[in-house]
Amino acid sequence: MQIGKAFSYPFDDPDWMKKIGIAAAVMLIPIVGGIVVAGWGVEVARRVIHREQYPLPEWNDFMGYLVKGLKMMVITLVYMLPIILVSICPSVLIPFASDQGEDTIMTIVTIVSACLSCLVLIYALLVGLVLPAAMGKFAATDDLKAALRFGQIISMVRTKPMVFVMVLLGGFLSSLIGSAGSIACGIGVLFTVPYSIAINGHLWGQAYLETGQDQVYAPTMQM
């Protein structure tokens, strides 16, 4: 893994300012903009997997990026669904216990909620390792179902666990960069968020290659 490369590669592209600038402009589109830029990040991963010289994509397939972004949301939702469901439980149980007026019930509910919070934290860390593998698989195959074959995805992580630990750490650093733009009255976010997404895409692509995956089905998009 070349963590540093994921942060520096955009600046090797002679058109990086234009590509990041367009991504910033797309981010201004309500709701859809963020989804499109997310799909653009998936295309970064695909280009890394194909070992293209400049992984930062051109903005010549808006609808294609939109579709990729929507599929990426579905993948994320599926993997995050247990967290969502478990997180809902305390919000239901605590008001119920309060209505009962029983201290014992309230204590039990509080303990259960604390235990669930621990489980959510553990699962969130696991998702942080597994989700990049799923995104890499999706980027390589352009197949939503392939990203949801949990056994295969977990097997990828088990093959090179430290690779995905590095991806998790790199993703954490990229999220700090993405949020740093808020310092400039929020305007900087339009540029730092696409840069952060581009970093993550590169990390996903690298991780996919590190696991020795040799099946790449996604057609090369028009340059």
Instruction: Read off the pLDDT of residues 8-65 as tens digits, 9 standing for 90 and up.
Output: 999 999 999 999 999 999 999 998 999 999 999 999 999 999 999 999 999 999 999 9
Whether 98 has a pLDDT exceeding 60, the answer reads no
pLDDT > 70? residue 219:
no
pLDDT greater than 70 at residue 115:
yes
Lowest mean pLDDT among 17-21, 109-113, 176-180: 109-113
Both tokens of residue 144? 């939503």
Two structure tokens written together for 87: 């997180």
Residue whose tokens read 């994509």: 57
- pLDDT at residue 94, as a whole number: 58
Residue 60 has what DSSP assignment?
-
Residue 90 pLDDT: 61
| Residue-level pLDDT at 34 | 94
Nearest-angstrom CA–CA distance, 71 and 170: 23
The two tokens of residue 60 are 């010549």
Q: Is the pLDDT reported for residue 184 higher than 90?
A: no
Cβ distance 73 to 38 under 8 Å?
yes
Q: What is the mean pLDDT of residues 147-155?
A: 94
Residues making up the chain, counted from first to last: 223
According to the model, what pLDDT value does residue 119 have? 82
Which amino acid would we find at residue 210? E
